[in-house]
Amino acid sequence: MKSPLSAPLLTVGLPVRNGENYLEETLLSIQAQTLSDFELVISDNASTDRTGEIAQKFAQEDARVRYYRQPVNIGAAANYSFVATTARGKYFKFAAHDDKIRPDFFFACTAVLERHPEVVLAFPLTEQINGEGHFVAHWPSRARFESNRPEVRLAEALAPTETFPLWGIIRSEVLQKTKLLGNYPGHDVPFLSELALHGRFAEVKEYLFLHREHRNRSIRVYNWRRPHETIEWYDPSRVGNIVFPAWRIAYEIGAAIRRAPLPARDRLRCIAATRHWLRSNAAGLVRDVGYSLGHVPIAGKSIRRFAATISRSKYRAAVARSLREIRLAIPDGNDFILIDEDIFERNDISFQNRQALPLIVRDGGDWGYPGNDIDALNGLDYHLNAGVSYLVFAWPAFWWLNHYKDFASRVMANFDQVASSKRVLVFRCVQSRRRK
């Protein structure tokens, strides 16, 4: 039997702040693992609820559990880094206080890593549950992470979907070569990208990870559509600072490519693989500049002149023209589904007597990107059943029509296109004649 001082096979790092709602359920699912050779590091980020009480109870009863409490709120980014740098295991896994895992998760993933030394991360398929723990949906496979080509793995890491493989099991020696999770919105994308550049992943074809969607999830509490305003969750010390979230993500992706142990030819292919992400996030990059300039307390003449140039740019003009085209295509008084990558305000007065609605609505709010075609189609059906009769794509979101193929096929085959330009596509959502 192993000594309590010997290094375990696996370290599980669980950073948490005010997680009393689901923490005990999550800890029980970790304790129930068929592989017992692990340690659990819990870092309580100055919680003000019963989080500490729950965690300390488990630490007192189970010698594998180490509990730490941060004296002040250090932010999620620093708390995630803390549990990673405290780890002693050969392998490492991040855990969230509100997700659950099935009993064979640790065994199945570590077994793959033990058999295949070239694999840097092993992760299972994902099942989504709701706040009450009931089944909602299965998320699709991410098999492209298994490719031997780094540019394919990078493209998959940059895909517009949840970064669930990060909740898999990672080789600690590879984890230590990365910059971990930075203190900026969207930090999981560069982190996942960097891991993917170090080697291929392995997907365990079992639904062992239970991702919980609920209204108190951080991405819901801190509005994902306003990344400049979510900095408090990542790093409270930066609240009030001018930040460039989209630019920071772009920079960190590029830095990860430069640091990765790749031949020159593969490095160039990886750089080329970022083009789609840059096109899809162009609106966010421009928005960063406009937002930041608008929050400079005292702007000199050159700054004000530059800000005026931004406001007269092609981007601003395209937004204005898009508004006009939407008003012309949709009759006054009609609500519509808006897929726009956040270039408009949802309650923009320029829509006049037309209300713009997000595709995925849960708990009365915008739930972000669909996880897959099923989510997108369910969102569409929700609105159709409510009597919404128009669907609008703005140009930054045209990529949806290539990414969500079943969703796009239904839209193109069944709905009348009433406006089309380089800026917007407007569909009337009626079951019109099926195009052949």
pLDDT digits (tens, 9 = 90+) for 114-132: 999 999 999 999 998 988 9
> Is 151 in contact with 270 (CB distance < 8 Å)?
yes
CA 99, chain centre distance (Å): 15
Give the pLDDT confidence score for residue 285 in this predicted structure: 85
| pLDDT value of residue 234 | 94
pLDDT given for residue 385 in this prediction: 92
Helix locations, 241-329, DSSP H = 245-259, 264-273, 275-280, 282-294, 301-311, 314-329
Confidence at residue 365, expressed as pLDDT on a 0 to 100 scale: 65
Residue 142 pLDDT > 50, yes or no?
A: yes
Check pLDDT > 60 for residue 436. no
* C-alpha 299 chain-centroid distance: 34
User: CA–CA separation, 193 vs 31, rounded Å?
Assistant: 30
**CA dist., res. 195 & res. 193, Å (int):** 5
Q: What pLDDT score does 355 carry? A: 86
pLDDT class of 306 with cuts at 50, 70, 90: low
CA distance 178 to 194: 7
Report yes or no: 140 and 372 within 8 Å, Cβ to Cβ.
Answer: yes
Looking at residue 432, its pLDDT comes to 46
Q: What is the mean pLDDT of residues 240-267?
A: 94
Query: Average pLDDT for residues 197-217, to the nearest whole number?
Result: 94
- In this predicted structure, which of 48-52, 120-124, 198-202, 320-324 has the lowest mean pLDDT? 320-324
Q: According to the model, what pLDDT value does residue 416 have?
A: 93
What pTM was computed for the model? 0.80
- For residue 293, pLDDT over 80 is answered with no
pLDDT tier for residue 340 given thresholds of 50, 70 and 90: confident
Q: Are 35 and 103 in contact (CB under 8 A)?
A: no
Pick the range with the lowest mean pLDDT from 159-168, 180-189, 250-259, 352-361.
352-361
How far, in Å, CA of 134 to CA of 147, rounded? 33
Higher pLDDT among residues 372 and 310, named by residue: 372
Q: Do 234 and 76 form a contact (C-beta atoms < 8 A)?
A: yes
Q: What angle do the packed helices 264-273 and 150-157 form, to 10 degrees?
A: 30
- What is the C-alpha separation between 124 and 36, in angstroms, rounded? 18
Mapped to the 3 state alphabet, what secondary structure does 384-412 carry?
A: HHCCCCEEEEEHHHCCHHHHCHHHHHHHH
Domains recognised in the chain with CATH numbers: 10-221 (3.90.550.10), 232-311 (no CATH), 320-428 (no CATH)
- The model's pLDDT over 375-430, given as tens digits with 9 standing for 90+, comes to 889 999 999 999 999 999 998 788 888 878 899 999 999 999 999 998 899 999 87
Is the pLDDT reported for residue 299 higher than 70? no
At residue 163, the pLDDT reads 95
What local confidence, expressed as pLDDT, does residue 229 receive?
A: 77
Alpha helices in 330-371 (DSSP H): none
Q: What is the pLDDT of residues 363-372, one digit of tens each?
A: 666 667 776 7
Query: Left, alpha or beta for 432 (phi > 0: left; psi -120 to 50: alpha)?
Result: beta
d(Cα 193, Cα 256) in Å, to the nearest integer? Answer: 7
**Closest among 158, 175, 11 to 92, alpha carbons compared:** 11
- Integer Cα distance of 257 and 154 in angstroms: 9
Most confident range (mean pLDDT) of 114-118, 212-216, 292-296 is 114-118
Please indicate whether residue 191 or residue 358 has the higher confidence score (pLDDT): 191
Tokens of 254: 């590029």
Neighbours of 405 (CB within 10 A): 11
Q: What is the mean pLDDT of the chain?
A: 88
What are 236's two structure tokens?
């409270």
Quickly count: other Cβ atoms within 10 Å of residue 318's Cβ.
Answer: 19
Query: For residue 283, what pLDDT is reported?
Result: 74
The one-letter amino acid code at 62 reads D
Q: What is the pLDDT of residue 1?
A: 46
> Please, which pLDDT band fits residue 262 given cuts at 50, 70 and 90?
very high
- Residue 267's pLDDT band (boundaries 50, 70, 90)? very high
Q: Span 170-174, mean pLDDT?
A: 98
Answer yes or no: is pLDDT of 160 > 90: no
pLDDT band at 373 (very low <50, low <70, confident <90, very high): confident
The two structure tokens encoding residue 436: 């052949």
